Chains A and B, each alone.
Chain A
Amino acid sequence: MVRDEKLLADELTEAISGAAEPLSASARAKVRERVMHEVSATSRGGILVLASHRLAVAGTALAVGFGGVAYAAERSLPGDPLYGVKIAAENAVVAVLPPGRLENRVLVSIAARRAGEAATLAREGSGTDAIDEALGSLRKAVRDAAPAEGSLTTDEANRIRQRAADAPAETRDAIEQAVVSPGPADGGASGSETGGAPGTGTGGSPRSGSDDGSGGIPDAGADDSTGTGEPDSTSQQRTREGQGVSPTDTQSFEVGGSPDTERTREPDGGLRSK
């Protein structure tokens, strides 16, 4: 009798648990779009983007001439007045992307931007604090781009590394460390978000803000938008004054790479793609 009761309870549990009506994939995506459309408009990023629109209208002539604020924001570096606009635009784009391959590629592109920013700051001789902060942002971006319980694929890591190829050796090492081991969000392995890797600055002088563009390292705005994932030889030669770089948010995200890349881990914890 007791056995029957147990059997009945088990059958009931199984029957009830399996009766949850599933939300179809199309309905799930449709409802998500409805919700996120509203959410992104009223999010922190969305509000800043709205503000940036107004700023763009009002300040184009004053601030950056005919290029427009959006263009200037795309080219901005941490510490620049328009850097917040650039970050807000990125957040707004990511917010409306459904989970999946496209979102993942955009997140990797954002991480590559952070690497490029850290490299440019170091190349320009910015202070250690500014570079360390940029490295903290890079670590966060790498964590966002990596899957919940894993790491970046080799291809993804290489895309980020490419953006820092011309960084001074010390900063390049710190960027490599951030890419391979971004550490937990709460701080830890790679140092804190704002004070992490020591000694990454190259000269200690504050960034002057008067970039002469002679270094030739591609900045965040020089993302490849061709969909190939390979560095564009033209964009490699662009300077921060840049020529012909797409200033818009979505278009400038690099979404190339190898679409068929699968994430696999080597036994030693390293990454490989196949």
Chain B
Amino acid sequence: MTERRLARTVRKACNRDARAFGRLYDEYADRVYAFVRSRTDSAQDAEDITATVFLKAWEAIGSYDDRGLPFAAWLFRIARNAVVDEYRRKAHRPVPVDEPIETGEVAEPTDVAVIARADAERVRAVVRMLTEEQASVIAMRFWWDMSIRDTAEALNKNENAIKALQHRAVRTLARLLQEGEDDGA
């Protein structure tokens, strides 16, 4: 969907136009699901939360102002909150708000071949091990194709903080992939 068409669709949806909202679902369902799935244990939970995200978006869209947050950032915030709510509701594990994983520079150089060999399932497993903020940045930057600026707005941080967060997230991910390979060897 072009930017102009998206803006028009969002405006219509803000006026309670169900069909326009359906278009937004079609546009963003995959992205919402990809993020939600990276933070949940099962596909069924991820589908339920994806539905919740869009229903919450529909409830709130009347007050959405396109002069404020970009739509993707607004929707991502809803998705992120829905995931956190789900964690709290199930209380099956703490919400990882801190940095439970070593996020320093890679101690040993990562083997490029290890990354090349990593399949999507392995990468997703590693993304699930990242902190909530790191996973959010990964999702927005790599799966939602959001700019640094929009990502910063969604997380209410400045752009430099996002760059640093992304750097740490990618490095951590590389290290975890390397460690997984070493352990498996």
Q: Is the CB of B51 within 8 A of A148?
A: no
Q: Is the CB of A16 within 8 A of B170?
A: yes
Cβ contacts B18-36/A at 8 Å (1 or 0 each): 1101110110011101100
Q: Is the CB of A30 within 8 A of B47?
A: yes
A201-224: which have CB < 8 Å to B? none
B174 within 8 A of A: yes
Interface size on A, residues (CB 8 A): 40
Looking at the complex, which one of B16, B115, B124, B142 makes contact with A21 (CB distance below 8 Å)? B124
B88 within 8 A of A: no
Q: Is the CB of B16 within 8 A of A13?
A: no
Name which residue of chain B comes closest to A93, CB basis.
B19
Looking at the complex, which one of A12, A20, A94, A148 makes contact with B1 (CB distance below 8 Å)? A148
Q: Is the CB of A20 within 8 A of B142?
A: yes
Q: Is the CB of A16 within 8 A of B15?
A: no
Q: Is the CB of A12 within 8 A of B30?
A: no
A42 within 8 A of B: yes
Known: A17-B142, A23-B30. A34 touches B51 (CB 8 A): yes
CA distance A12 to B50 in the complex (A): 27
Q: Is the CB of B115 within 8 A of A11?
A: yes
Q: In the complex, what residues of B have CB within 8 A of residue A19's CB?
A: 120, 123-124, 127
Name which residue of chain A comes closest to B138, CB basis.
A16
A7 within 8 A of B: yes
CA distance A183 to B118 in the complex (A): 49
Q: Is the CB of A35 within 8 A of B25?
A: yes
Min Cβ gap A33→B in Å is 10
Q: Is the CB of A22 within 8 A of B58?
A: no
Q: In the complex, what residues of B have CB within 8 A of residue A34's CB?
A: 51
Name A's interface SS.
helix
CA distance A129 to B5 in the complex (A): 29
Among A20, A23, A40, A99, the one with the most B-chain Cβ atoms within 10 Å of its Cβ is A20
Q: Is the CB of A31 within 8 A of B142?
A: no
Known: A23-B50, A44-B17, A95-B22. A11 touches B124 (CB 8 A): no
Q: Is the CB of B124 within 8 A of A32?
A: no
B95 within 8 A of A: no
Q: In the complex, what residues of A have CB within 8 A of residue B60's CB?
A: none
Binding site for A on B (CB under 8 A): 1-2, 5, 8, 15-19, 21-23, 25-26, 29-31, 33-34, 37-38, 43, 46-47, 50-51, 54-55, 58, 109-110, 112, 115-116, 118, 120, 123-124, 127, 138-139, 142-143, 170, 173-174, 177
CA distance A5 to B104 in the complex (A): 17
Q: Is the CB of A43 within 8 A of B18?
A: yes
Min Cβ gap A31→B in Å is 5
Looking at the complex, which one of B18, B138, B142, B174 makes contact with A39 (CB distance below 8 Å)? B18
Q: In the complex, what residues of A have CB within 8 A of residue B26's CB?
A: 32, 99
CA distance A20 to B112 in the complex (A): 20
A91 within 8 A of B: yes
Name which residue of chain B comes closest to A28, CB basis.
B29
Q: Is the CB of B173 within 8 A of A16?
A: yes
Min Cβ gap A101→B in Å is 15
Min Cβ gap A184→B in Å is 9
Known: A8-B112, A16-B170, A46-B18. A21 touches B37 (CB 8 A): yes
CA distance A35 to B34 in the complex (A): 18
CA distance A21 to B109 in the complex (A): 28
Q: Is the CB of B115 within 8 A of A15?
A: yes
A90-142: which have CB < 8 Å to B? 91-92, 94-96, 99
Q: Is the CB of B47 within 8 A of A8?
A: no
Known: A17-B142, A35-B51. A12 touches B173 (CB 8 A): yes
Name which residue of chain B comes closest to A95, CB basis.
B18
Looking at the complex, which one of A20, A36, A148 makes contact with B18 (CB distance below 8 Å)? A36
Q: In the complex, what residues of B have CB within 8 A of residue A17's CB?
A: 142-143
Q: In the complex, what residues of A have CB within 8 A of residue B51's CB?
A: 31, 34-35
| 7 shortest interchain CB distances as A-B pairs | A95-B18, A43-B18, A19-B123, A20-B34, A23-B33, A11-B115, A20-B143
